[in-house]
Amino acid sequence: MKTLLLALFILSFTSLFANENKVCQKCHPLIYKEYYNSIHRKSSLPNDAIYKALYDKEHNATTQQQCSSCHSPSAKTAQDAKEAPISCVYCHTIKDIKEHDTANKNILSDKKRDFFSAESSKRNEAKVTYETTSSFFGLIKRAKNSPYHQIEYNNENYYTGNVCMGCHSHVNNAHDFDIIMLDAYIDKKDKDTCISCHMPQVMGSKTTLRDTKTHAYHGIAGVHNMSESLGKYVDISLAKRKDGFTVTLKNQANHALFGQAYREGVLLVSIERDGKTKELKPFLFRRTFGKNGKASMPFEANEVIKDTLIYAKKSIDYNAKLQKGDRVTVTLGYRLISKEAAKTLNLQNSDTLTQIKVLKTESF
């Protein structure tokens, strides 16, 4: 009877294999729900307005194909492009990253239903398989691992964060100019990695087969989800001067902040005095690509004509003199796309793309 139930269980997965993520949803409903609202699920042309606007303006078919290799590597049909452009199976079968000057490449495993994952307690286990245990004369049964796939926990790429570098490192355009410029540095000594920052442990069981207190967040913490949770990686300080004050931002991440094309960081500063609030001119963090000294589309660019991004540390001076009793509020936020870029891409009517979202607020 147990064998029959297991066979039917696996058969139900097999019949759904055309939609890989729906298969995964059966045992990982919470993770699937997070994934469905993540940028990984929304990275494709039907789901990402900014990406589509840029893609449509690029007429080079080769370049478009290069874009699709990271934005929708799992999409074989239009439905795939909408529902699972980057599938669960795709990310969990990245065996290694092949580095290249133009763009890195994900090397996928050719072993079916043999997935990679990270779990510190099992870091040295090459492969674990499904098994069941029982106690109290068979009345209590527990499942361990998955009846659908095997798991390898000893792939270091899933612990260092290097698994992300196939798509999130750099991409050179036709002019051999890097339009990603994440400038991330993977160091095995780092306490925090791409995984620990953008996929932090959150409450909830990772699978229905066994209860776990936490699981890695698959909504991808960042500018789209859980952005304020990343605020802890930016320290904000204020120092008074005779003629004003200086706000200093210390970036603890291993990459520049707000470096994506057309992304824009915003620093909002206000002074509260005698019950009145004065808003100072916002400071903008952006990197502007250009060609021949003028702003251009990323795929046309061959230079950076402006760069005010936050790398390791950034200090901004304000000439407003502070008085005793003043309260200064500093807010670090961002726009998914600058208002100027939105006009260029005919996206100016989408308020959600240009509204300021908060990363962190401090008062002094």
pLDDT at 18 (0 to 100): 45
The confidence score (pLDDT) of residue 21 equals: 85
Tell whether the torsion through CA atoms of 288, 290, 294 and 297 is positive or negative.
Answer: negative
**Residue 148: per-residue pLDDT:** 81
CB neighbourhood size of 313 (10 A): 10
What three-state secondary structure class fits 191?
Answer: coil
Summarize pLDDT for 56-110 with one digit per residue, the tens. Answer: 998 888 888 889 999 999 999 999 999 999 999 999 999 999 999 999 999 999 9
Question: What stretches of the chain adopt beta strand conformation (E)?
Answer: 94-98, 105-108, 114-116, 131-135, 140-144, 150-152, 201-203, 214-216, 234-241, 244-251, 264-273, 276-279, 283-285, 287-291, 294-295, 303-307, 313-318, 327-335, 357-363
Q: What pLDDT, on the 0 to 100 scale, is given for residue 358?
A: 95
Q: Cα(31)–Cα(303) distance, rounded to whole angstroms?
A: 40
Rounded CA separation 151/209 (Å): 14
In CATH, the number for domain 227-363 is 2.60.40
Q: What are 16-35's pLDDT values in tens digits?
A: 444 678 889 999 999 999 99
* pLDDT for the residue numbered 182: 80
Question: For helices 61-71 and 49-57, what crossing angle results, to 10°?
Answer: 160
Q: Name the one residue in this structure whose structure tokens are 């990402």.
A: 48
State pTM to two decimals.
0.87
User: What is the length of the chain?
Assistant: 364
Instruction: Report, as ranges of residue numbers, the positions in the chain whose pLDDT lies below 50.
Output: 1-18
Segments making up each domain of the chain, as ranges: 2-216, 227-363
pLDDT of 11 reads 44
Query: Which residues make Cβ contacts (< 8 Å) with residue 329, sequence separation at least 6?
Result: 269, 270, 272, 361, 362, 363, 364
Q: Say if CB 282 and CB 318 are below 8 A apart.
A: no
Give residue 10's pLDDT. Answer: 46
- What is the pLDDT at residue 107? 97
